[in-house]
């Protein structure tokens, strides 16, 4: 199982995504906790993801479909979900990412 935690400072809620590889090669993703916008976009569903399709194409992407229901494109969900999927599928390694944006 792969666990991805990310936070949108505006929402002040830690979002937790769980990824589990299924016997058929798909990876199931579920949201344990999240900001209201993400909870609404996921609609309480567990989603089965095809790693090759999600990571290497944008056509008919389940993750892009979920992201399209979020209030803006800079919401960190899509990157977090793609990275968790990549790790659980064995196509990447766990890493820590930090993005800090400052205006001077």
Give the span between the Cα atoms of 80 and 94, in whole angstroms. Answer: 11
Is the model's pLDDT at 8 over the cut of 80?
no
Residues 46-55 pLDDT 10s:
999 999 999 9
pLDDT band at 58 (very low <50, low <70, confident <90, very high): confident
| CA distance readout (Å), 27 to 2, 24, 85, 87 | 10, 9, 7, 10
Residues 12-30 pLDDT 10s:
778 899 999 999 999 999 9
Residues 60-90 pLDDT 10s:
899 999 988 888 877 888 999 999 999 999 9
pLDDT band at 41 (very low <50, low <70, confident <90, very high): confident
């Amino acid at each position: 199982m792969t666990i991805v935690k990310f936070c949108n400072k505006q929402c002040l809620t830690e979002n937790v995504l769980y990824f589990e590889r299924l016997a058929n090669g798909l990876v199931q993703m579920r949201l344990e906790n999240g900001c209201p916008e993400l909870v609404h976009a996921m609609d309480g569903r567990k989603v089965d993801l095809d790693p090759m399709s999600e990571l290497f194409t944008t056509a008919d992407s389940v993750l892009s479909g979920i992201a399209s229901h979020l209030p803006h494109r800079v919401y960190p969900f899509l990157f977090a979900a793609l990275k968790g999927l990549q790790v659980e599928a064995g196509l990447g390694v766990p890493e820590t990412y930090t993005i800090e944006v400052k205006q001077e």
